[in-house]
Amino acid sequence: MEHCSFTGQAIWLKRSRIQALRSRLLDLQMRLQGQIQNLPLGNEDWLDTERELNAAEAALSQLGDWRLG
């Protein structure tokens, strides 16, 4: 019986992490879009956002197929 509870908690934790990463991913996508559109030529601050976005996508990918929701 304890195994079922532990498994349920692990699944909940994974889903919670996926949900948090999805939210961060959407925030980063919106920020990146705004940065690219509004920054003057030569300003490459958006590259940091793109790197974080790529890291969030990689983390979600490692946790499973995050696109299925």
Instruction: Please tell me the predicted confidence (pLDDT) of residue 1.
Output: 47
65 — pLDDT class (breaks 50, 70, 90)? low
Average confidence (pLDDT) over 33-53? 81
Summarize the confidence of residues 38-59 as an average pLDDT: 82
Q: What is the pLDDT of residue 35?
A: 79
Class of residue 24 by CB neighbours under 10 A (exposed 0-12, middle 13-18, buried 19+): middle
Reported pTM? 0.55
- Greater confidence (43 vs 7) lies with 7
The token pair at 63 is: 């946790």
